[in-house]
């Protein structure tokens, strides 16, 4: 926590927005909310049962809502997300200037497919077999052995 100087209204997040998020934060970041509660003078007991824990969480939430409404607790707006799960934005290098060279036309390239057309593949293998061109390692070994 830190002491703040008087703030402009634009710097503060609306209390309604923060109170709306308190239930979610109670489940995901309860330790931080409990620390705020203690900083406001609240006392957290140890070894609570599940029923007592839910009552205590309700008390903490109500006290934090009160503090936000009274201005004892202020949430500031930040430009960037300050969460641990926020990834930094990628830095994109500026585009390089195009050279004054006229590019040559390239022939169109067929897109690679993981499973090529089986009929076309079979026809290619038949033509290779008819021409006597080895198309696999085993065939090449047999052709060398025969020669």
pLDDT at 85: 61
Q: Tell me: the pLDDT tens digits for 49-102?
A: 878 888 888 888 888 888 888 878 777 777 765 555 655 666 777 777 766 666
SS3 76: strand
**19-44 pLDDT, tens digit each:** 778 888 888 888 888 888 888 888 88
Which two three-digit tokens encode residue 130? Answer: 């008819």
Place of tokens 């290098």: 93
**How do the domains of the chain map onto residue ranges?**
9-70, 119-147
d(CA 59, CA 5): 28
Q: Does the pLDDT of residue 115 top 70, yes or no?
A: no
Indicate the DSSP class of residue 79: S
């Amino acid at each position: 926590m830190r002491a703040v100087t008087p703030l402009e209204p634009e710097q503060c997040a609306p209390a309604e927005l923060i109170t709306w998020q308190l239930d979610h934060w109670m489940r995901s970041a309860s330790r931080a909310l409990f620390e705020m509660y203690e900083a406001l003078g609240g006392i957290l007991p140890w070894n609570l049962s599940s029923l007592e824990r839910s009552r205590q969480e309700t008390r903490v939430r109500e006290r934090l809502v009160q503090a936000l409404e009274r201005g004892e607790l202020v949430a500031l707006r930040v430009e960037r997300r300050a969460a641990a799960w926020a990834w930094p934005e990628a830095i994109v290098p500026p585009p390089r200037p195009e050279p004054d060279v006229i590019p040559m036309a390239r022939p169109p390239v067929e897109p690679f497919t993981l499973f090529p057309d089986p009929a076309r593949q079979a026809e290619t293998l038949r033509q290779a077999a008819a021409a006597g061109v080895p198309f696999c390692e085993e065939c090449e070994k047999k052709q060398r052995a025969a020669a």
